[in-house]
Amino acid sequence: MSSIQVDQVGPYLWRIPPDARPGMRVPAFVVADAGLMAHLRSDASLQQLANGATLPGIVKGAYAMPDIHQGYGLPVGGVVATDAEHGVISPGAIGFDINCGVRLLATPLAEDAVTPRLRELVDALYRAIPTGVGSKGRLTLDARETAAVMADGARWAVAQGHGLAEDVQRIESDGSLAGAAPDRVSPQAIERGRRQLGTLGSGNHFLEVQVVDEIFDAEAAAAFGVRAGQVTVMIHTGSRGLGHQVCTDFLRSTESALKRYGITVPDRQLACAPVDSPEARAYLGAMRAAANFAFANRQVLTHWTRGVLLDVLGVAAADVRVVYDVAHNIAKEEEHDVDGRRRRVFVHRKGATRAFPGQPVIVPGDMGRYSFLLRGSEVAMRETFGSTCHGAGRLMSRTAAVKAARGRRIVDELAARGVHARATGRDALAEEMPEAYKDVKDVVDVVHRFGISTRVARLRPIGVIKG
């Protein structure tokens, strides 16, 4: 049980005071209700959040979304903003899977047009899209091509014929972060990514066929191009081994730099370097390059998904629209109001989603219940540096989930719920079974009621592929 002091300061807001642990520079805040808060007492996530509040140059507070759970350094669901001139950059406050993110595609099909051929569709997607740990894609890049992907992101993929020109207009940052520095990415990271463009990976990554089964905001839904009964496809993956290696490399370099810059952190997993230091500049360039690789990865997967929809259901590529693509595990330089004045800050979002006013926000749930489409708000700009939740949040570790699933056939349980599932790994479905996660409805209810993002539509899964 966590012993750290947490005070409820609103129906959906909790505060850890800055004297709750030594070294805190600002308070920490958790967006949650009483039920979700009860889950946090049994792991280290609140302590990790308080540790995040010790980062030099942090402004306003350290924040956690209602899907918070224990992670590496900062908890998953954590948001911290550091001053763009006098703060630090922390790879552990961003995460290993750089720009792990979610893309939502809208098809012109209704559920009854897909159901008779659902098994055929899911099986075709499973054949077309490489899944699993260390999976290799249908593309093999040389070092020059890999550098071009890291420089241009989704735009590179579209230029190579993997998508439509209008796709990039519906991606956060137009699918390419400025300031990427592929030359700061290690040869080992490049080698790991060279054959992983266009792969789904493993863990909580998935491709899911869904149905829009409820509309909450008709005006926003129409603006986003979704309607009740419509079939959608959600893609959740990131920068694969390339991004993981970038984080690994720079955790080492920032840890070795702590003493040099006179920085002390309570957890070396939060190793950091001043924003104007060579270590931070190099990491930011490499992180942006890895983020662009992830944008390109989801773009290639979109292209191959369109190909399967054409082959199985006769849907033209131009009729499968990108609703939006959002990034998690990323740091972005933004301007926000802090203590009554406009300041440039680096917002570290680790397992959190940008939620700028009017922007689509995609929140995946588990493969047995539902996911949500939300809309960002002005409240998020005031309260959470324009951030909201990114998913349901784990309740069980993967090891605990596999243990709980012994003697059960999760694939049959999903089928009984109307979900056809295919997976590569032996324990992939057990690790990600629905009860391993919080109910995403509870998470979404909190961010909706608090106002940092509001409900637009609910999406029900009918088919899923996983690694």
210 found inside a domain = yes
294, pLDDT greater than 60 = yes
Q: CA distances (Å), 5 to each of 23, 84, 270, 299, in order? A: 15, 30, 21, 44
List, by residue number, the catalytic residues. Answer: 390
Is 2 among the domain residues?
no
Region 303-314: what's the mean pLDDT?
98
Q: Is residue 167 assigned to a domain?
A: yes
pLDDT bucket at 134, cuts 50 / 70 / 90 = confident
Q: How far apart are CA 406 and CA 433, in angstroms?
A: 12
DSSP assignment, residue 98?
Answer: T
pTM tops 0.75, yes or no:
yes
pLDDT at 396: 86
Query: Which tokens belong to 190?
Result: 């490049």
**Using only C-alpha atoms, what is the Rg of the chain?**
21
pLDDT-based confidence at residue 443 (cuts at 50, 70, 90): very high
What is the band of 73 on the pLDDT scale with cuts at 50, 70, 90? very high
Share of the chain above pLDDT 90, in %: 90
Is 80 exceeded by the pLDDT of residue 41? Answer: no
Token output for 87? 């703060």
The separation between CA 95 and the C-alpha centre of its own chain, rounded to angstroms, equals 10
Strands (E), 92-202: 101-110
Residue 398 DSSP class:
H
Cα–Cα distance, 107 to 170 (Å, whole number): 15
DSSP SS3 for 129: coil
**pLDDT value at 257 more than 90:** yes
Contact 389, 352 (CB under 8 A): yes
pLDDT of residue 3: 80
C-alpha distances (whole Å) from 229 to each of 115, 218, 436, 458 are 12, 13, 28, 11
Whether 262 and 161 have beta carbons less than 8 Å apart is answered as no
Short-list 455, 399, 447, 454, CA closest to 427: 399
pLDDT at 1 over 60: no
| pLDDT for the residue 421 | 94
What pLDDT digit, counting tens, does each position of 145-202 carry? 999 999 999 999 999 999 999 999 999 999 999 999 999 999 999 999 999 999 999 8
Nearest to 74, CA basis, from 85, 88, 59, 90: 90
Largest CA distance in the chain: 64
| Tens digit of each residue's pLDDT (9 = 90 or more) over 395-434 | 888 899 999 999 899 999 999 999 999 998 778 899 999 8
Q: Which amino acid is at 17?
A: P
What average pLDDT does range 86-99 have in this prediction?
97
Does residue 32 surpass a pLDDT of 60?
A: yes
- Please write the tens of the pLDDT for every residue from 330-370: 999 999 999 999 999 999 999 999 999 999 999 999 999 99
80: which strand partners? 348
CA neighbor of 102 nearest in space, from 243, 291, 298: 298
Of 8-12, 244-248, 420-424, which range is least confident?
420-424
In a domain, 307, yes or no: yes
Tell me which residue range forms the domain holding 442. Answer: 7-466
Cα–Cα distance, 361 to 225 (Å, whole number) = 14
pLDDT band, very low/low/confident/very high, at 467 (cuts 50, 70, 90): confident
Neighbours of 426 (CB within 10 A): 9
Number of domains in the chain: 1
Higher pLDDT, 396 or 82: 82
pLDDT at 284 over 90: yes
Q: Is the pLDDT of residue 320 over 90?
A: yes
Residue 1 lies in a domain: no
Contact present, 334 and 75 (Cβ < 8 Å): no
Q: Is 86 within 8 Å of 25 (Cβ atoms)?
A: no
Here the tokens at position 202 are 């493993």
pLDDT at 135: 73
Query: Has residue 224 got a pLDDT over 60?
Result: yes
Q: How many angstroms separate the CA atoms of 127 and 406, rounded?
A: 27
Residue 242 falls inside a structural domain: yes
- Residue written as token pair 């300061």: 9
pLDDT: is 396 or 31 the higher one?
31
In a domain, 162, yes or no: yes
348: which strand partners?
80, 331
- pLDDT band at 393, cuts 50/70/90? confident
pLDDT-based confidence at residue 2 (cuts at 50, 70, 90): low
- Beta-ladder partners of 285: none
- Least reliable range by pLDDT among 126-135, 143-152, 306-315, 440-449: 126-135
Q: Tokens 């609703």, residue?
A: 323
What order do you get walking across the sheet with 62-69 strand by strand? 7-10, 13-16, 28-31, 62-69, 76-83, 341-350, 330-338
Structural contact between residues 194 and 144, judged by C-beta atoms closer than 8 angstroms: no
Give the chain's mean pLDDT.
Answer: 95
Domain with residue 236: its CATH number is: 3.90.1860.10
- The SS3 of residue 354 is strand
Pairing of strands 453-466, 420-423: parallel
- How are beta strands 321-327 and 101-110 bridged, if at all? antiparallel
Place of tokens 């899209």: 129
Domain assignment present for 158: yes
Q: In whole angstroms, what is the distance from residue 423 CA to residue 5 CA?
A: 42
Contacts of 169 (CB under 8 A, 6+ apart): none
Give burial (CB, 10 Å; 0-12/13-18/19+) of 333: middle
In sequence order, what are the residues at sequence separation of 6 or more whose Cβ sits closer than 8 angstroms to the Cβ of residue 57?
A: 82, 83, 86, 87, 88, 274, 275
| The two three-digit tokens of residue 27, written as one number | 């308070």
Q: Contact at 8 Å (CB) between 212 and 227? A: yes
Across the range 74-79, mean pLDDT stands at 97
